[in-house]
């Protein structure tokens, strides 16, 4: 899956099966972990470059049930 997130805040805006269009201010990275963005505010904590597969990969997240963070 691909996660599209706000570059400045790290807030994930959506998960996609294929690479989505990326607008200014947004970033995209692969992830093996997804959540329901309607239920949770998910923030990207750390992204690494996968030298084997050659893509950015989200390795750490912090998430909160909506209304808590």
Give contact residues for other proteins (rule: CB under 8 A). 31-33, 35, 45-46, 48, 57-65, 68-69
The nearer residue to other proteins, 4 or 24, going by C-beta atoms, is 4
62 to 7, 57, 59: CA distances (angstroms): 15, 15, 11
Q: Report the C-alpha gap between 20 and 64 in whole angstroms.
A: 24
The nearer residue to other proteins, 21 or 53, going by C-beta atoms, is 53
The nearer residue to other proteins, 7 or 46, going by C-beta atoms, is 46
Token code pair at residue 55:
């893509």
């Amino acid at each position: 899956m691909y996660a599209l997130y706000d570059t400045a805040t790290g807030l994930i805006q959506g998960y996609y099966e294929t690479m989505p269009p990326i607008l200014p201010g947004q970033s995209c990275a692969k992830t093996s972990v997804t959540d329901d963005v309607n239920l949770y505010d998910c923030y990207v904590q750390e992204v690494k470059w996968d030298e084997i597969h050659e893509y950015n990969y989200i390795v750490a997240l912090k998430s909160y049930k909506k209304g808590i963070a």
